[in-house]
Amino acid sequence: MHRVILLLFLFFSISFFSQNENGLSYLYKDHFLLGSIYHGSVLGNDELNLNQDQEHKIISKEFNTITAENCMKPLFLLDQNGNYNFKESDKFVDYALENNLTIVGHTLVWKNSAPEWFFKDEKGNTISREILILRLKDYIKTVVSRYKGKISYWDVVNEAVDVFKSEDNKSYAALKPSPWYDIIGEDYIKIAFEAAHDADPDCKLIYNDYNMYQSEKTDFIIDMVNNLKSEGVPIHAIGSQGHMFLNHPSLDKVEYWLRKISDANIPLHITELDVSVLPNAWKHRGASVEDRFDLAQKYNPYPNHITSSKLKQQAKRYKSLFKLFLKYSHTIERVTFWGVWDGNSWRNYLPMKGRTDYPLLFDRKFKPKPAYFTLKDLVRKK
């Protein structure tokens, strides 16, 4: 009897090890963490997520780190009366711990994810700087303390910088207008990081932003982080979102931000990677191809299926990006795909509703795509 139990134990142990050994994160383990996101029971477009089991099967096999897509944003944690609902975020953390996944909390301070009442008094007037600082600190303390010792990384401040044009049409980067900035001032970033550190001193804290192919933005963020660190503010890494297209941004612009952050000796996280095969539609943000035939023809060219040639093009793009990530792996701590499979990607409903995109490594039948095998071959020992 004991012999049978021992043999069963060895069988399942070997099977489990082999499964992980064949996963992407195992192949990249000597380079950086490799992750995906936790969609939760409700997607970002408010539709129910009916495919969590399939997603979790892929995650457990392929990845070793996981980020909360929406369930840890203030809009999802707070109701209109200021009451917290941790049901989904608790499920996320429990799931990650049960599957031995490194957890990334996302995100504490972002102008798009705080409820409007957070900045108002009971009469609807804008609150004072002092009151907003107290609310900010209390919120961060409540959320971060709840998961102290469980979450390895927090995206503390998200998308605080933008690129503007001067009167003489020169580009420059600066902190963007937001209720946080408008009411508190530029030190809201410092306050947020210090509050997160006080709540969990062992957690690594990240400043996260997008479009860092813009050199002005990269340079500004590096200077901002270095200046804050010189003041003793606990910022441990820069997060750079990676929402790509097949030909944009150019590889030299991608390498610019990788090289500059490496030269600054700041750990880097690629936080939201995907590669859209659709035309860039951000100038039509908010429009719906479901209602406009002209937009559908131009901006939704693959409503039913994607061509093999386009998937090969996507695989080539992923390979080019990962070759750069491997080149700078001494700086890069983590690469996270912003989704598990094509069917639940945010790029199906943003910036335009009603499109069909194919930006991830697994298709709508949960099967690996050419890009998946390309990334495996890139690091597989011959």
Q: Three-state SS for 68?
A: strand
Distance CA 146, CA 139 (A): 11
Q: Could you say which of 55, 69, 159, 194 is catalytic?
A: 159
Instruction: Measure the CA–CA gap between 353 and 296, rounded to whole angstroms.
Output: 10
pLDDT at position 6 over 80 = no
Question: Per-residue pLDDT for 4 more than 50?
Answer: no
Q: Which of 55, 62, 69, 272 is catalytic?
A: 272
- pLDDT of 45 reads 83
pLDDT of residue 87: 97
Instruction: Describe the crossing of helices 129-146 and 188-199 by its angle, rounded to 10 degrees.
Output: 30
Residue 120 within a domain: yes
Q: Is residue 74 part of a domain?
A: yes
pTM of model > 0.85: yes
Quick one: pLDDT at residue 381? 67
What is the structure's pLDDT at 286?
A: 83
% of the chain exceeding 90 in pLDDT: 87
CB 290, CB 354: distance < 8 Å = yes
- Given this model, what pLDDT does residue 182 score? 97
- Please indicate, yes or no, if residue 320 is contained in any of the structural domains: yes
Which residue segment(s) compose the domain that 218 sits in? 30-379
Residue 260 lies in a domain: yes
pLDDT of residue 17 exceeding 70, the answer is: no
For the segment 148-158, the average pLDDT, to the nearest whole number, is 98
Indicate whether 290 belongs to any domain.
Answer: yes
Domain contains 47: yes
Based on the residue annotation, tell me whether 159 is a catalytic residue of this protein.
yes
pLDDT of residue 285: 86
pLDDT at position 211 is 95
Average pLDDT, the chain: 93
| Residue 361: pLDDT over 80 | yes
* Greatest distance between any 2 Cα atoms in the chain: 83
The whole-angstrom separation of Cα 267 and Cα 193 is 16
CATH number, domain containing residue 150: 3.20.20.80
pLDDT at res. 186: 97
pLDDT band at 20 (very low <50, low <70, confident <90, very high): low
Give 48-88 pLDDT, tens digit per residue.
Answer: 889 999 999 999 999 999 999 999 999 999 999 999 999 99
| pLDDT for residue 14 | 40
pLDDT tier for residue 43 given thresholds of 50, 70 and 90: confident
> Could you confirm whether 272 is annotated as catalytic?
yes
SS3 127: coil
pLDDT greater than 90 at residue 21: no
Any domain includes 25 = no
How distant, in Å, are the alpha carbons of 41, 142, 248, 341 from that of 130? Answer: 36, 18, 43, 44
pLDDT at 277: 98
Whether 233 shows a pLDDT value over 80: the answer reads yes
- Phi and psi torsions of 204, nearest 5°: -85, 135
Q: How do residues 325-358 score in pLDDT, each as one tens digit?
A: 999 999 999 999 999 999 999 999 999 999 999 9
Mean pLDDT, rounded, for 140-166: 97
363-382 per-position pLDDT tens digit: 999 999 999 999 999 998 64
141 Cβ neighbours under 8 A, 6+ residues apart: 195, 198, 199
Residue at 2 is within a domain: no
- For the cut 90, the answer to whether the pLDDT of residue 234 exceeds it is yes
Number of domains in the chain: 1
pLDDT of residue 281: 92
How much is the pLDDT for 290?
Answer: 87
- Tell me, what's the pLDDT at 8? 46
For residue 288, CA distances in Å to 23, 106, 279 come to 37, 28, 14
Residues forming beta bridges with residue 238, ordered by sequence position: 207, 268
